[in-house]
Amino acid sequence: MGIVNVTPDSFSDGGRWMDPAAAADQAERLVAEGADVIDLGAESTRPGASPVGAEEELARLVPAIREIRRRCPGLPISADTRKREVARAAVEAGADILNDVQGGAEPDARWPSLAPVAAELGCPWILMHNRAGPHGEDLWGEVLADLRGAVARAEAAGVPRRQLWLDPGFGFGKTPEENLELVGRLERLAALGLPVLLGTSRKSTLGKVLGEPDPARRLPGDAACAAWGIGRGAAMIRVHDVAGLAPVARMADALRRGRAWRAG
């Protein structure tokens, strides 16, 4: 999953792809480098970012989706949003997947769950864990309980289990040590039986481990997380650096498959 942010303030690439043509150029570039899915976000979720109203998010997101869909008719597009009206409009404009950093939760009345939209549209829905710490001694107990609850609420709202993906929420409400624990034992999440998306790309935990303040220079950390995560059950990785990480993903997947691997 290659990342294209149509935002002015994302931590790594904010402001670079605001124009729909520029976003589509970047999407085509990432596909040529090996991306299978393009994830479009129009509201920054970096720590401290200001929320964006639905009207502004739609104005950024929908034209980019339409332009990418025009140029790449068969390309799966993911819309990274937590708002119902934006999710519905994104799919109507050509998106195929809903990537929900709220994970189906309803922290307050401003953010109702996307469950009714996902049920109505029948599209894949990625549920990310996003609960602020501290998490106490049992991080995994809390993460797994929260995500089981998210899946149960989705199914109760009419979303079939086959539509659901899970994301451990690396970098969302967790300490660096907790982030490392999530990747290190990702098989615990994969054991729930749903496909897992892992998104560690360029995040601050990598910078702390590597001593690298520049997000664009954290590729070695991204590669290690990708290889380790795929080996422990990740079905897809969400990345900025597709050219650098697509070969890592292919090799890690081949190692995981072992003698079951087949060329092509």
CATH at 112 = 3.20.20.20
- Would 15 be classed as within a structural domain? no
Q: DSSP secondary-structure letter at 239?
A: B
Domain annotation covers residue 193 = yes
Asked if residue 174 is part of any domain, the answer here is: yes
* pLDDT tens across the length of the chain (264 residues): 999 999 875 555 656 777 999 999 999 999 999 999 999 998 877 666 677 889 999 999 999 999 999 999 999 999 999 999 999 999 999 999 999 998 888 766 667 899 999 999 999 999 999 887 666 788 999 999 999 999 999 999 999 999 999 999 999 989 999 999 999 999 999 999 999 999 999 999 999 999 999 999 999 999 999 999 999 999 999 999 999 999 999 999 999 999 888 876
The pLDDT assigned to 262 comes to 83
The answer to whether the CB of 182 falls within 8 A of the CB of 199 is no
Residue 61, in any domain of the structure: no
Q: Mark whether 203 is an active-site residue.
A: yes
In total, how many domains does the chain have? 1
User: Does residue 74 form part of some domain?
Assistant: no
**Which residue in 60, 84, 174, 238 is the catalytic one?**
238
Read out DSSP for 34-67? T-S-EEEESS--STTPPP--HHHHHHHHHHHHHH
Look at residue 8 in the predicted model and tell me its pLDDT.
76
The helix (H) or strand (E) run that includes residue 125 is strand 125-128
Judge whether 104 and 113 are in contact, CB under 8 Å.
yes
List, in sequence order, the alpha helices (H) in 39-138: 54-71, 84-93, 115-121
Report pLDDT for 133. Answer: 67
Q: What is the pLDDT, as a whole number, of residue 126?
A: 97
Is residue 11, in this structure, part of any structural domain at all? no
Distances (CA, A) of 131 to 70, 100, 151, 213, 255: 37, 13, 15, 26, 33
Residue 238 appears among annotated catalytic residues: yes
Q: What is the pLDDT of residue 17?
A: 73
**How much of the chain is in helix, strand and coil states, percent to nearest 5?**
45, 10, 40
Predicted confidence at residue 14, as pLDDT, reads 52
* pLDDT tens digits for range 33-91: 999 999 999 887 766 667 788 999 999 999 999 999 999 999 999 999 999 999 999 99
Tell whether 36 is covered by a domain.
Answer: no
Q: Does 21 fall in a domain?
A: no
Task: Report in angstroms the alpha-carbon separations of 20 from 6, 15, 222, 235.
Answer: 8, 12, 27, 29
pLDDT attached to residue 178 = 94
| Conformation bin of residue 126: beta by default, left when phi > 0, alpha when psi is -120 to 50 | beta
In three-state secondary structure terms, 249 is helix
- CA 66-68-72 angle, to 5 degrees, is 120
Cα separations in angstroms, 163 against 35, 158, 175, 201, 236: 21, 11, 30, 24, 15
Domain that holds residue 93: 79-254
What spatial distance separates the first Cα and last Cα of the chain, rounded to whole Å?
Answer: 19
The single residue of 60, 203, 218, 232 carrying the catalytic annotation is 203
